[in-house]
Structure 1
Amino acid sequence: MTIIDHLKWRYATKKFDTSRVLSDEQLLILKEAFNLTALSYGLQTLKLVVVEDKAVREKLIPVSYGQRQVADASHLLILCIQNRIDEKDVDQHFDKVKTLRNTPDSILEPFKSQMKSTIENMPEDKKTVWATKQAYIALGNLMTVCAVEGIDCCPMEGFIPKEMDRVLELGQHGLSSVLLLPVGFRATDDMFADFKKVRKSLSETIIEL
């Protein structure tokens, strides 16, 4: 299968096979893919919460508007943003750059100072919007990797973030949930699996200059 074939195969899975679970290798691939997502400035101000416990996920159904995918999938991936983004994140990033690349401070310091200034001068509400946009980049990356690996998923915005955070006590980790991605394998009787994709033609969505 080509990458296009894989993307045509995927769909927003509505019903998961509750008897099938991801292997440790498949789960690790998704974790690595999340960690390798290209993010603004290279700062990783996102966290991926992986929920496997079925009992815990059953508690999340009411805060997900009754959508059973959160409990019936193999695992529930929750993309979260940090509640606080500041110069410490910049320092940690450049410490890693220096360690891994052995880049001298004389080269790093101008970029580091500029990034700190940008972060410090950014209003908190804009930081939240900015971080949330990064989460959508990670979501898209995860969905593509799922398609390539033959893993079904269902991207979800339909949940109550504050209630999700309360149930999972994400505030204790300094996090806020922004997106959900149940992952697993489609049920054989999920009628949505056979629906033809409805998309505009390339001539309608692509502009070539």
Structure 2
Amino acid sequence: MSNIKALNWRYATKKFDDSRMLSEDKVKVLKQAFNLTATSYGLQPLKMLIISNKETQKKLREFSMDQQQVDTASHVMVICIEDKVDKEFIDNYFKRVKHLRETPDEVIKPFQNFLVDDFRKKAVEEIHAWAINQAYLALGTLLTVCAAEEIDACPMEGFEPEKYDEFLNLHDKNLRSVLVLPVGYRSQEDMFSKFKKVRRPLDEVIIEID
């Protein structure tokens, strides 16, 4: 499909076909898409859990406003932010830059020192808000790739993060859940898949400046 046709095909799936599972190849594409998403400074203050255990999905449904997508989807992706983005985290990023690009220290160090100093001055809440913005960038990437791959998805903010964190032991992993993305294949019984998209006209949302 063309990009625009794929985006027209995509919708927030309300009911998945629980008899169909994504192939390992499809899951691998989504893993790579998540890892390749744009993030501020390239720091990637994110991790993603991929859950396909049906008992776990059933339990998570309890913490997701009883939304059936969570336990009928092939997989549930939980996008998380790093609870701590500190000097060690930033230094590790620049170690990867040096290793992969062979960038000399005299080029790396000024920017590295700037970021370490800048993040040291930020309140924890400010860093978390910044990281959450990166999670939404990743969600957008995943939704676009899902559409291109003809994978159905339903982005969700309607869940209880604290209960997800506790049930999935995310605090032990230095993580906080911020977004949930069930993925799989739409049920033929999902009437929403037949609805026309409702969007504002282009001339209302696009401003061209010569």
Query: For residues 11 and 184 of structure 2, what CA distance do their matches in structure 1 show?
Result: 12
Q: Which amino acid aligns with 1:89?
A: F
Q: TM-score, normalised by structure 1?
A: 0.99
C-alpha displacement at 1:117, in angstroms?
A: 1.0
Alpha-carbon deviations, 1:69-90, whole Å to 9, x = none? 1110000000000111101111
AA aligned to 1:159 is F
- Show the counterpart of 1:58: 58
Q: Distance in 2 between matches of 1:203 and 1:197?
A: 17
| Structure-to-structure mapping, 1:31-70, within 5 angstroms | 31-70=31-70
Cα distance in structure 2, aligned partners of 1:97 and 1:83: 22
Equivalence for 2:153: 153
Deviating 4+ runs (over 6 angstroms): none
- Superposed, 1:17-166 pairs within 5 Å as 17-166=17-166
Q: After TM superposition, give the deviation of residue 68 of structure 1 in Å.
A: 1.1
Matched residue type, 2:16 = F
State the alpha-carbon separation in 2 of the partners of residues 186 and 37 from structure 1: 25
Identity of aligned residues (%): 49
Q: CA deviation at 1:190?
A: 0.4
Is the partner of 2:63 in helix, strand or coil? helix
Letter in 1 for 2:47: K
Deviations 1:22-56 (A, max 9, x none): 00000000000000001000101100000110001
Deviations 1:137-186 (A, max 9, x none): 00000000000000000000000100111111111111110000000000
- Counterpart CA distance in 1 for 2:198 and 2:107 is 50
Q: Normalized against structure 2, the TM-score is what?
A: 0.98
DSSP-derived class of the 1:182 partner: strand
Q: 2: distance between equivalents of 1:159 and 1:181?
A: 11
Deviation at 1:95, TM superposition (A): 0.3
How many residue pairs end up in the alignment?
209
- C-alpha displacement at 1:120, in angstroms? 0.7
Instruction: Kindly state the Cα deviation for residue 5 of structure 1 after the two structures are TM-superposed.
Output: 0.1
What is the aligned partner in structure 2 of residue 10 from structure 1?
10
Residues 186-209 of structure 1, C-alpha deviations (whole Å, 9 max, x = no match):
001100000000000000001111
**By how many angstroms is 1:118 displaced?**
1.2
3-state SS, counterpart of residue 48 of structure 1 = strand
AA partner of residue 24 (structure 2) = D
Which amino acid is 2:52 matched to? E
- 3-state SS of paired residue (2:198): coil
Separation of aligned partners in 2, 1:180 and 1:4: 24
Equivalent positions of 1:130-209 (< 5 A) are: 130-209=130-209
